[in-house]
Amino acid sequence: MATQQKKTKPYLSTVIFGAISISFYVLLFSNETLVTDTYTKGGIYTLYPIGTVFLFSFIHGAFASNLLSLLGIEAKKK
């Protein structure tokens, strides 16, 4: 019989990634004109939107994962 480990809830991680996520969205939308002008230049500037998408995806994904764990929603174990 396997012993069950008590899993700690990720309160701090959820708050940190949530705050970072909100901060990034506020920065992005408050600088909408600069972002639009810079991201539509083409050339090497094409990397900016791609990098931004990866960054937002990672931060928001980490927040969402921690939030779901905090709420007790976990993937099924086979």
> Distance between CA atoms of 5 and 36, rounded to whole angstroms?
49
* pLDDT score at 54: 98
Q: Which domain holds residue 23?
A: 11-70
How many distinct structural domains can be found in the chain?
A: 1
* pLDDT score at 76: 85
* pLDDT score at 6: 75
DSSP-assigned letters across all residues of 56-72: HHHHHHHHHHHHHHHTT
Residue 50 domain-assigned (yes or no) = yes
Residue 76 domain-assigned (yes or no) = no
- Cα Rg of the chain, angstroms: 18
Q: Return the closest-CA partner of residue 11 out of 60, 59, 73, 63.
A: 63
**pLDDT tens for the chain, residues 1 to 78:** 556 677 789 999 999 999 999 999 999 999 999 999 999 999 999 999 999 999 999 999 999 999 999 999 988 888
Residue 77 domain-assigned (yes or no) = no
Residue 5 domain-assigned (yes or no) = no
Residue 1 domain-assigned (yes or no) = no
Q: Judge contact between 49 and 38, C-beta under 8 A.
A: no
